[in-house]
């Protein structure tokens, strides 16, 4: 037994200086000889082990000492890193702990926890293979096509450059600070969005659950958008695309009368793609044709995420590069089109009076929150897989700059297309009015003075100049039988919903020379943008489930398949005849309320419950560099008040005015505006309460147990200057090991 103990103490003796090694070797030799004479009855193998000890040279001891010191240093660094990453603060119990456990008491607990996790089948937490892949993931998340269209619509309807000025101020005041907050919380906690809010402050433990539910619902109906794109793309290789002309009646050479009363683009969208009903109340079976492409879209997302974050970076390199190349091609092509200058001149219009309009500021603030994707959860989840010393403040500014550049690239492209469409449509309207007026004059319904001019050169300007020069009674008589043709009114028809993309842009592209090529590029642009955002929504949900439930972590691929199939089954609601109306109800009337409430809770959890100064001090220690001193002030006062004002404006909009949607009227074969029924408000209110229920539930739970709202300073991370450096080095080692494994 004594010889065994001597062997166990060898590593500790190996830490002696090289000059002491010979003496230690001689003493060990003497002890081994004496023990050998007393233990002659023991196994010969033990004797051989002792002889081996006797033959060790001093150089061997020195080498063993160096190896042992290296291993001990690595072990201490890994210990410090693991302790720093367990929680942002010690996990609170019914009564808050008065003191923080010292670092010397933690290794045994850490070993027990590690062995327990290993026995339960936990896998080590994956990190992004490189900083570039993480940045690409955030960029892909911000590439939502609905956000780009909503920004252009706000630019046109909310004061042009005045809206952009309000947007920049909102981005600097609440956008970047709150983006930095989500990145910093995820990066520092290194946990799922469900667990990190519990550990940050138990009062806000329900925020993570609400995030997951809102993210899943949003991803479900956004994925339906991809299925519509795939359905259109399945028809682009026809010699004549079906939305360019009305279909023929069965067993007849005549066109479908319902399509002739409308336009071929409207008919294909409502009747062949959506198979839409007249009202939201009229349901039916899901569309099989769109359902196949919804299943295909889910399969594509599942395939892209099959290997988790290991391969998503390479996929995003393609998905992000393609849309920018297409946007540049479209921008070059559309700048030379007739009427493009009319759309581009809106880039230079500044309405000074509208800057003082609160509606513009509210619209710009909500636009910022959705453009950056705050409150949904993917940013927190993606940031939790980067090393904790990453400079997330610089990342937040970089993503804001990326978003502005993207919007400034796409806005001229969209405005020039809108100008071309409005000009072309108005020219067509003037020529149709000319034909109708000539026919009415020939029939004697209108006097000869109503003879229209020749419209072969600049039809819109010639026709409107002639109409304005007529006497008021004659002009009124003409306008009673023909519609007014105005470029401005046509231009202002832009809306921030999917129907605008599938109705207006398909019509515009069909007017371009080589329309087949541009049609392929256009739908490829929409598909890549939609896939980028859907992939990140899906990845945010999958990573959260993996971190929360042990089984999900052990079976990541099975989890991805299951979530994709559940998303497909839930998406069937939106491909039934009234599904487009439910899509509009959720995307335009529902999602803003839960997202803004979640953002407010995030802000309060960090700034007031945990403490903005404490949190920023911890981030300064981890980053090793100072952080903008006004960030805490923005978190504590500016952001909560502004976001609360935005929530109030959304409530006023939902309660004050009627909620409307565009619908298909089969009796007149026209698109009409209908009012959502009263039960639709009850539906969105009930869904909002359902997804936000975990937040008040945790409030009641903590209030019942008497848990203090504000965390005590004793729960601060116990990181000193030396430990911070060890944590950084260990984090770099982990990242290097992950790169080697991948």
User: What pLDDT does 229 receive?
Assistant: 95
Least confident residue range of 107-116, 156-165, 335-344, 609-618: 107-116
Read off the pLDDT of residues 442-479 as tens digits, 9 standing for 90 and up.
888 888 888 888 888 888 889 989 988 888 888 898 88
The predicted model gives 492-521 an average pLDDT of 86
pLDDT digits (tens, 9 = 90+) for 569-594: 999 999 999 999 999 999 999 999 99
Q: Rounded to 5 degrees, what are φ and ψ at 664?
A: -95, 130
Burial of 628 (0-12, 13-18, 19+ CB in 10 A): middle
Range of weakest confidence among 65-74, 169-178, 557-566, 702-711: 65-74
pLDDT band for position 348 (cuts 50, 70, 90): confident
Binning pLDDT at 50, 70 and 90, where does residue 494 land? confident
The percentage of residues in the chain with a pLDDT greater than 90, rounded to a whole number, is 46
pLDDT tens digits, residue range 594-619?
Answer: 999 999 999 999 999 999 999 999 89
- Model confidence pLDDT, tens digit, residues 654-677: 988 789 999 999 888 888 999 999
- For residue 502, give the nearest of 583, 589, 591 by alpha carbon: 583
Going by the annotation, the residues of the binding site are 140, 529, 533
Residue 445 CB neighbours (<10 A): 12
Q: How confident is the model over 21-53, as pLDDT tens digits?
A: 334 444 444 444 444 444 344 444 333 333 333
Tens digits of per-residue pLDDT, 291-336?
999 999 999 999 999 888 888 888 999 899 999 999 999 988 888 8
CB atoms under 10 Å from CB of 735, counted, come to 18
Of 432, 224, 412, residue with least CA distance to 335: 412
Output the DSSP codes for 489-558.
HHHTT--SSHHHIIIIIHHHHHTSTTHHHHHHHHHHHHHHHHHHHHHHHHHHHHHHHHHH-HHHHH-HHH
DSSP code at position 389:
T
For residues 349 and 568, the answer to whether their CB atoms sit within 8 Å is no
User: pLDDT tens for residues 278-293?
Assistant: 999 998 899 999 999 9
* Confidence band for 639, pLDDT divided at 50, 70 and 90: very high
Tell me which residue has tokens 């991948």: 742
The encoded tokens of residue 595 equal: 């997202």
**CA angle 207–213–217, rounded 5-degree value:** 145
pLDDT grade, residue 740 (50/70/90)? very low
SS3 state of residue 321: helix
CA 207 to chain centre: 17
Determine the Cα–Cα distance for residues 448 and 442; give it in Å rounded to an integer.
9
| DSSP conformational letter for 241 | -
Q: Which CATH number fits domain 131-425+495-705: 3.30.40, 1.10.3470, 3.40.50, 1.20.1740?
A: 1.20.1740
Task: State yes or no: pLDDT of 9 exceeds 90.
Answer: no
Q: Report pLDDT for 134.
A: 93
Mapping DSSP onto H, E and C, the string for 69-105 reads HHHHHHHHHHHHHHHHHHCCCCCCCCCCCCCCCCHHH
Rounded alpha-carbon distances, angstroms, from residue 311 to 126, 139, 545, 685: 12, 16, 19, 39
**Mean pLDDT value across residues 532-541:** 93
d(CA 234, CA 436): 38
Bridge partners, 511 (sequence order):
none
Using CA atoms, how far apart are residues 385 and 196, in angstroms rounded to an integer?
A: 13
Higher pLDDT, 740 or 422: 422
Q: What tens digit of pLDDT does each residue of 401-445 get?
A: 999 999 999 999 899 999 999 999 899 999 999 899 999 998 888
Helices in 268-391 by DSSP H: which ranges? 288-304, 309-334, 340-344, 358-372, 378-383
> What pLDDT shows up at residue 515?
85
16 pLDDT more than 80: no
Task: Indicate the average pLDDT of the chain.
Answer: 80
pLDDT for the residue 99 = 34
Span 63-111, pLDDT tens digits: 444 544 554 554 454 444 444 444 444 444 333 333 333 333 433 433 3
Least confident of 165-179, 358-372, 546-560, 720-734: 720-734
Distance separating alpha carbons of residues 182 and 396, to the nearest angstrom: 10
Domain map of the chain by residue range?
A: 131-425+495-705
Q: Which residue has the higher pLDDT, 511 or 36?
A: 511
What pLDDT is stored for residue 448 in this prediction? 86
pLDDT (average), residues 260-272? 89
Using CA atoms, how far apart are residues 372 and 171, in angstroms rounded to an integer? Answer: 9
What distance in Å separates the CA atoms of residue 716 and residue 291, rounded to the nearest whole number?
A: 52
DSSP category for residue 634: I
pLDDT at site 656:
85
Within 10 angstroms of residue 535's Cβ, the number of other Cβ atoms is 23
pLDDT at 70: 53
Name the binding residues for Na(+).
140, 529, 533
Q: Which has more confidence, 107 or 388?
A: 388
| pLDDT of 683 higher than 90 | yes
CA proximity to 593, closest of 142, 224, 203, 217:
217
Question: Distance between CA atoms of 512 and 516, rounded to whole angstroms?
Answer: 9
Q: Comparing C-alpha atoms, which of 620, 616, 632 is closest to residue 721?
A: 620
Rounded-to-integer distance, Cα 573 and Cα 589, Å: 17
pLDDT of residue 106: 37
pLDDT of residue 299: 95
Is residue 672 within 8 Å of residue 662, measured between CB atoms?
A: yes
Mean pLDDT of 234-256: 83
Q: Is the pLDDT reported for residue 640 higher than 90? A: yes
SS3 content of the chain, % helix, strand, coil (to 5): 75, 0, 25
Q: Is the dihedral of CA 591, 592, 598, 602 positive or negative?
A: positive
């Amino acid at each position: 037994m004594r010889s065994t103990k001597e062997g166990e103490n060898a590593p500790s003796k190996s830490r002696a200086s090289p000059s002491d090694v010979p003496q230690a070797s001689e003493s060990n030799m003497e002890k081994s000889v004496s023990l050998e004479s007393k233990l002659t009855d023991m196994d010969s193998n033990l004797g051989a082990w002792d002889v081996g000890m006797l033959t060790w040279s001093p150089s061997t001891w020195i080498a063993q000492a160096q190896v042992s010191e290296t291993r001990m240093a690595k072990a201490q660094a890994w210990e410090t890193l693991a302790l720093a990453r367990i929680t942002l603060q010690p996990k609170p119990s019914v009564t808050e702990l008065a003191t923080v456990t010292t670092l010397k008491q933690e290794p045994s607990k850490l070993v027990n926890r590690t062995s327990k996790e290993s026995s339960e089948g936990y896998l080590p937490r994956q990190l992004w293979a490189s900083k570039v892949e993480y940045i690409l993931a955030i960029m892909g998340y911000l590439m939502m096509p609905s956000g780009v269209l909503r920004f252009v619509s706000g630019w046109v309807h909310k004061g042009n450059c005045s809206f952009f000025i309000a947007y920049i101020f909102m981005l600097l005041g609440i956008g970047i600070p709150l983006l930095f907050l989500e990145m910093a919380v995820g990066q520092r906690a290194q946990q799922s969005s469900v667990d990190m809010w519990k550990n940050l402050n138990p009062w806000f433990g329900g925020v993570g659950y609400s995030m997951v539910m809102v993210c899943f619902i949003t991803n479900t109906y956004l994925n339906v958008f991809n299925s519509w794109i795939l359905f259109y793309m399945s028809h682009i290789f026809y010699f004549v695309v079906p939305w360019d002309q009305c279909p023929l009646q069965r067993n007849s050479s005549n066109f479908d009368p319902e399509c002739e009363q409308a336009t071929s683009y409207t008919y294909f969208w409502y009747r062949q793609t959506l198979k839409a009903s007249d009202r939201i109340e009229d349901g039916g079976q899901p569309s099989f044709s769109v359902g196949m492409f919804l299943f295909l879209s889910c399969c594509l997302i599942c395939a892209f995420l099959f290997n988790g974050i290991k391969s998503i970076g390479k996929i995003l390199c393609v998905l992000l590069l393609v849309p920018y190349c297409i946007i540049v091609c479209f921008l070059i092509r559309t700048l030379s089109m007739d009427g493009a200058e009319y759309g581009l001149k809106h880039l230079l219009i500044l309405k000074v009076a509208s800057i003082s309009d609160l509606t513009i500021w509210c619209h710009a603030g909500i636009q910022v929150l959705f453009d950056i994707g705050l409150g949904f959860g993917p940013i927190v989840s993606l940031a939790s897989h980067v090393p904790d010393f990453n400079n997330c403040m610089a990342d937040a500014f970089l993503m804001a700059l990326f978003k502005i550049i993207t919007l400034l690239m796409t806005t001229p492209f969209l405005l020039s297309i809108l100008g071309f469409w409005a000009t072309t449509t108005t020219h067509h309207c003037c020529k149709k009015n000319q034909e109708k007026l000539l026919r009415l004059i020939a029939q004697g319904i209108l006097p000869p003075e109503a003879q229209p001019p020749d419209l072969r050169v600049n039809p819109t300007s010639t026709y409107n100049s002639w109409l304005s020069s007529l006497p008021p009674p004659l002009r009124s008589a003409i306008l009673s039988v023909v519609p007014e043709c105005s470029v401005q009114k046509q231009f202002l028809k832009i809306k921030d919903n999917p129907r605008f993309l599938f109705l207006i842009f398909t019509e515009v592209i069909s007017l371009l020379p080589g329309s087949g090529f541009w049609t392929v590029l256009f739908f490829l642009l929409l598909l890549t943008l939609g896939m980028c955002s859907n992939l990140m929504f899906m990845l945010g949900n999958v990573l959260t489930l993996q971190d929360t439930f042990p089984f999900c972590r052990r079976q990541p691929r099975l989890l991805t398949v299951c979530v994709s199939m559940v998303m497909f089954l839930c998406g069937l609601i939106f491909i039934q005849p009234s599904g487009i109306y439910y899509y509009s109800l959720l995307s335009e009337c529902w999602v803003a309320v839960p997202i803004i409430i979640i953002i407010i809770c995030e802000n309060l959890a960090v700034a007031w419950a945990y403490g903005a100064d404490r949190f920023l001090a911890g981030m300064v220690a981890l980053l090793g560099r100072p952080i903008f001193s006004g960030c805490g002030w923005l978190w504590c006062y500016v952001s909560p008040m502004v976001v609360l004002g935005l929530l109030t404006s959304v409530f006023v909009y939902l309660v004050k005015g009627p909620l409307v949607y565009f619908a298909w009227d089969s009796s007149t074969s026209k698109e009409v505006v209908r009012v959502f029924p009263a039960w639709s408000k009850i539906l969105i209110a009930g869904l909002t309460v359902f997804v936000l229920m975990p937040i008040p539930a945790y409030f009641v739970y903590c209030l019942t147990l008497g848990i203090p709202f504000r965390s005590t300073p004793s729960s601060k991370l116990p990181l000193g200057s030396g430990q911070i450096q060890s944590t950084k080095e260990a984090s770099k080692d982990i990242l290097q090991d992950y790169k080697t494994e991948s």
